[in-house]
Each structure stands twice: as C-alpha cells, then as structure tokens.
Amino acid sequence: MAENTPHIKLLDEIGFGKTVLMPGDPLRAKFIAETFLENPVLVNGVRGVNGYTGYYKGVKVSVMASGMGMPSMGIYCYELFKFFDVQNIIRIGSAGSISPDCNVRDIVAGIGACTNSAFSQQYGLDGTVAPVCNFEMLSAAKEVADEKKYNFKIGSLYSSDTFYDDTRASVDWAKVGCLAVEMEAAALYTTALRLGKRALAICTISDLCYEPFTSLDADERQNSFTDMMTLALETAVKIDSLPHLEPKE
C-alpha cells in the first residue's frame, strides 16, 4: 500500500485502480460508484473528497473527485500519479459551450487545453506549454462513442482560472477553435505530461455561453450525465492493457 499523502489517506487495502475517473463533485463520484461499480469501497475521504474503488466489467476502476479549478486538480492528479501508481486519469465534468457546434448534453473530448492559467510556469520553460491528452485514451474513447452513437465532439478545451469573468473573455477562445470552457483539463494534461502518465478530459455541455443562454441545474449536473460516465468506464476497460508507466522524476 502506498504512503498516505496530505490529501489522500487510503482507507482500504484495495487501493486505486490503474484508471481513475475524476469528476469535480464528490457527490458525482459517489453516484458513479454506487450506480456503475461492483462492490465499491471507499478508499479516500480526506476533506470530503471521496474516492471509491470497485469493478466494472471485471476491470478494477476508481472514481474520486478533483474539486474545482486547476490548483485542486493539480494536487489530486499529481498525488495519484506520483504516489499511488495510477496510470490513467479521465476527467469527467461539465463545460460551457463557446462554439455553435456544441449543444447542451453533447460530449466533448479535449484533444488539447488552452488556458489563461500560470500553472505551467512552475517548470521554468522559456515558452508556452501546449498541454494535450493521451492519444491512445482519446482513440479508445472515440471507438466507444462511435459504437454507442453518442453526440461526441473532439477539439480543444479552454481551461479558465475564473468562473465569474467580468470580461466574458471565454467566448473569444472560439476564435482559435476551442469548443468549450471548463476549469481543470490544462492542469491535468500538464501534470500527466510532466510525470509521463496518461490523461483525457471528457466533458458534457451543461451551459451555452452565448445566446440563447442555457444552463442545467445542480441536480442535473450531478446525476444526469450518464452517457459521459458510461463512455469513461468503457474507455477504462479498453485501455486496461496499456503498458505500465513509472512516474518521471
């Protein structure tokens, strides 16, 4: 069993699966575990960020909340990758459409994540980091989406540090091809690249950030994104045989 970290304290020897699904909301993590996983076990409860491990179609899978925003995601995905031997993280969250090509309840997979965050400045690189997903995970997700005929879009996400933005600058990122705005993918992708692990962000469109403005309520966000949840779990099954990766120093 791995050593505990400041934010993760293992509560059961089952530990974490190779793949962890990460919604932002702890209640969404609980819903996924109780709805989809066989014999789910609570494996983390520090700060109420509940994590569960169980089995889906015979594959050991975990689901744990990331909290909201890049600092929170950066903490949890780093500790999972670095200290608990997690190989793959799939973010499953909500996003606001900034493109007329994406409608409410469409599923968007981020091939890359633009951002206004200074998250990557920690690496001291003389330039701009372009965080991208793992191609094998994206390919597996597309196969599942095609099989199930989901409304599935692939494109860039815009990861914003601000939810309430006086300038409404998020919609301008559609000019460079971003499909939707969310708040975690860039930190997840950057951390995965830095540690040599795999990551993919899949988001369901919960809001339209242009007229006619539309927004799903909190209960709908927590409980109704079942296509996205199934997509992530089926992807976890497809990628279970990918090679083991040790974290880079």
Residues marked as catalytic: 207
What's the Cα-to-Cα distance from 30 to each of 10, 98, 139, rounded to whole Å? 16, 29, 27
SS3 content of the chain, % helix, strand, coil (to 5): 35, 30, 40
CA dist., res. 112 & res. 33, Å (int): 28
Q: Is the dihedral of CA 238, 71, 68, 152 positive or negative?
A: negative
CA angle 197-78-42, nearest 5°?
100
Q: Which of 166, 162, 158, 204 is nearest to 182 (CA)?
A: 158
d(C-alpha 237, C-alpha 73), whole Å: 23
In the chain, count H helices and then E strands: 6, 10
Tokens of 230: 């199934």
